[in-house]
């Protein structure tokens, strides 16, 4: 397998670091608009299979040409989702398998944004599935941790734990702290603003997809392995779009443990218009307010040595077990920042995202996963994925809640 990763930020560099310990591929190109950033991600590995280069992720023709030059079997999109259309198209044009960790952006309903869906996350990609099928190509979308591993958990629960599922709810929480900062997101603030301030999507079998107010339906969820109780709220996320397409259930939600301070900061940014993606004129410069916010905050990829604690991603499932009894479980994956920093030099949140596309690529290489069209992770057998995740030294857990 010959791999091209577009984007050498925190997740892209972590993908390279994790993959470097595995033998399933022959070459790995790490590409970024910033040549120095790509070079740093490769040099630290000391592995001759890795090459650094430059590419503009917004230029589909340039990405496709780069993939052809390196005969890339797989293109991994490790950029902000605003670059998805170009990289997605480039993979199709280069006849390469495509992977991403976040899907194309949504657009709220123009009249009833907090009741009806407009353009949902991933709609543009899912609409192209027939085209990919006809070309004999696979686009594996949403294969990070959330979406990604959380979707794999949903598939596993449906196939092995339940005869009927009433609700699938992805629940994310942590006890991470960062020395020296009152406010410092552990993941891309650009993406965080997008998913947290957009209308959250909920799916119900009798109603379909609908939206609610941001930060709605707060609940306290107790996370395992010492993290404890965290208040979680509705947030827009891809799992709600993907899971109902391949998993039979009655309801799907996504709730994130943001914390009161984080929510208030996001609300303030929205109130001031600083969450906008539209450029405004500031003296003689055009700048998008959201890009300015991102530039003012620390780079999440560089916070690892200041971070402490654990992060948990998981999927709560409630329904009827295979023996006919009521059952409620939480399938989860916990990562300790001290471990990922010591072993890989990458902070826990980006590392937890990055390991999943590497596992998926290995499954595609061995043939354990195969298919064509635009598919989410829940379209595939969960067992090989969870087995290989454990072989990577990062097994999942499960707690019974009934």
DSSP symbols for 75-130: EEE-S-GGGHHHHHHHHHHTT-EEEESS-PPPB--SS-TTTS--BPTTHHHHTTHH
Q: Specify the residue for token string 């339940």.
A: 162
Q: Where are the domains of the chain?
A: 2-100, 149-349+395-400
Query: Does residue 299 surpass a pLDDT of 90?
Result: no
pLDDT, residue 184, reads: 83
Q: Which of 212-216, 242-246, 258-262, 304-308 has the lowest mean pLDDT?
A: 258-262
pLDDT, residue 327, reads: 98
pLDDT, residue 362, reads: 98
Q: What is the CA radius of gyration of the chain?
A: 20
pLDDT, residue 235, reads: 96
pLDDT, residue 252, reads: 98
The model's confidence at residue 402, banded by pLDDT at 50, 70 and 90, is confident
pLDDT, residue 169, reads: 98
- Among residues 312, 355, 147, the alpha carbon closest in space to that of 244 is found at 147
The CB-based long-range contact list for 110-116 (8 Å cut-off, 24+ gap) reads: 113/199, 113/211, 114/199, 114/211, 114/212, 114/213, 115/210, 115/211, 116/210, 116/211
pLDDT tens digits for range 141-190:
999 999 999 999 999 999 999 999 999 999 999 999 999 988 888 878 88
pLDDT tens digits for range 243-254:
999 999 999 999
Cα(185)–Cα(298) distance, rounded to whole angstroms? 8
Q: Which of 57-61, 100-104, 193-197, 358-362 has the lowest mean pLDDT?
A: 193-197
pLDDT tens digits for range 254-271:
999 988 888 999 999 999
- Mean pLDDT score across all residues of the chain: 96
Superfamily of domain 149-349+395-400 in the CATH hierarchy: Dihydrodipicolinate Reductase; domain 2 (3.30.360.10)
Write the class of the CATH domain 2-100: alpha beta
Work out the average pLDDT over 132-149. 98
Cα(32)–Cα(9) distance, rounded to whole angstroms? 8
pLDDT, residue 191, reads: 84
In the chain the first and final C-alpha atoms are separated, in Å, by 44
């Amino acid at each position: 397998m010959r791999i091209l990763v577009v984007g050498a930020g925190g997740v892209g560099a972590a993908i390279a670091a994790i993959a470097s310990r595995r033998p399933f591929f022959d070459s790995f190109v790490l590409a970024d608009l910033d040549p120095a950033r790509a070079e740093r991600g490769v040099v630290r590995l000391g592995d001759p299979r890795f090459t650094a280069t430059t590419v503009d992720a917004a230029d589909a023709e340039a990405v496709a040409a780069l993939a052809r030059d390196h005969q890339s079997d797989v293109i991994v999109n490790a950029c902000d989702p605003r670059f998805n259309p170009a990289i997605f198209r480039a993979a199709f044009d280069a006849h390469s398998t495509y992977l991403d960790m976040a899907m194309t952006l949504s657009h709220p309903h123009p009249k009833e944004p907090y009741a009806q869906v407009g353009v949902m996350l991933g709609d543009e990609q899912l609409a192209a599935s027939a085209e990919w099928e006809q070309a004999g190509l696979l686009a594996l979308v949403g294969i990070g941790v959330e979406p990604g591993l959380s979707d794999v958990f949903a598939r596993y629960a449906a196939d092995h734990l339940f005869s009927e599922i009433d609700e699938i709810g992805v629940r994310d929480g942590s006890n991470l702290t960062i020395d020296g900062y009152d406010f410092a997101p552990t993941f891309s603030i650009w993406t965080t603003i997008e998913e947290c301030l957009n209308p959250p999507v909920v799916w119900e079998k009798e109603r379909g997809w609908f939206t609610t107010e941001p930060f709605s339906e707060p609940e306290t969820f107790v996370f395992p392995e010492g993290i404890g109780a965290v208040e979680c709220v509705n947030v827009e996320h891809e799992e709600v779009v993907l899971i109902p397409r391949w998993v039979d259930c009655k309801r799907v939600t996504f709730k994130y443990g943001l914390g009161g301070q984080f929510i208030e900061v996001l609300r303030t940014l929205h109130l001031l218009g600083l969450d906008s993606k539209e450029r405004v004129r500031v003296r003689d410069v055009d700048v998008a307010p959201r890009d300015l916010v991102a530039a003012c905050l620390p780079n999440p990829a560089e916070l690892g040595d200041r971070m402490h604690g654990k992060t948990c991603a998981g999927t709560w499932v409630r329904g009827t077990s295979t023996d006919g009894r009521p059952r409620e479980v939480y399938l989860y994956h916990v990562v300790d920042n001290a471990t990922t920093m010591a072993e890989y030099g990458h902070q826990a949140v980006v590392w937890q995202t990055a390991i999943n596309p590497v596992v998926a690529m290995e499954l595609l290489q061995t043939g354990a996963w195969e298919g064509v069209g635009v598919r989410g992770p829940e379209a595939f057998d969960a067992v090989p994925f969870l087995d290989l995740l454990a072989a990577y030294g990062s097994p999942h857990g499960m707690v019974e809640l009934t």
